């Protein structure tokens, strides 16, 4: 199998995986301070198109319940420096519904061991709360 065919096959499998799971997979570049990827589950959970978030990453913070924002900002800043993250918070969807989110982030290190990206999984845990 050629390298190109192998890569295309694996990209198709990855795409099928992320298109069909209920959790949001995301990746953020810490150097360029931008979102690189957000999976389709974002639209189902947040009730907003993924493209809206990619165009305006501030939308994520704006969707967090006002009572939870300060705590979440503090956790994100602290955890990005330490390379660990786990935070639960509420979001307010455009339809006014409130959902509980468990967001976990994992460091991605370069060849020198420096964290340059964060990869994460956000899941709706409303039914468990």
> Residue 115 falls within a domain, yes or no?
yes
Residue 29 falls within a domain, yes or no?
Answer: yes
3-state SS assignment for residue 125: coil
In a domain, 6, yes or no: no
Q: 41: pLDDT confidence band, cut at 50, 70 and 90?
A: very high
Q: Given this model, what pLDDT does residue 81 score?
A: 60
φ, ψ dihedrals at 96, nearest 5°: 90, -10
Domain that holds residue 71: 22-128
For the domain that residue 49 is a member of, what is the CATH number? 3.30.450.20
Do β-strands 85-92 and 98-109 pair in parallel, antiparallel, or remain unpaired? Answer: antiparallel
Q: How many domains does the chain have?
A: 1
**Beta strands, E only, the chain:** 24-29, 34-38, 85-92, 98-109, 115-124
Q: pTM for the whole thing?
A: 0.85
For residue 7, being part of any structural domain is answered with: no
- Residue 5 placed within a domain: no
Calpha distance 128→31 (Å, rounded): 35
**Residue 117, domain member (yes or no):** yes
Instruction: State the pLDDT confidence band at 84, using cuts at 50, 70 and 90.
Output: low
CA nearest 26: which of 118, 127, 126? Answer: 118
Six-digit token string for 10: 């694996």
Residue 73 inside a domain? The answer is yes
In a domain, 58, yes or no: yes
Mean pLDDT, residues 6-20 taken together: 85
């Amino acid at each position: 199998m050629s390298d190109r065919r192998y890569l295309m096959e694996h990209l198709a499998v990855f795409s099928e995986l992320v298109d069909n799971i209920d959790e949001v997979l995301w990746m953020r570049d810490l150097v360029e301070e931008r979102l690189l990827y957000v999976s389709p589950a974002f639209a189902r959970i947040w009730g907003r198109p993924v493209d809206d978030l990619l165009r305006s990453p501030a939308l994520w913070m704006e969707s967090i319940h006002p009572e939870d924002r300060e705590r979440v900002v503090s956790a994100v800043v602290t955890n990005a420096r330490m390379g660990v993250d786990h935070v639960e918070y509420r979001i307010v969807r455009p339809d006014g519904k409130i959902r509980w989110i468990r967001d976990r982030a994992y460091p991605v290190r370069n060849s020198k061991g420096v964290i340059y990206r964060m990869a994460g999984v956000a899941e709706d845990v409303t039914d468990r709360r």
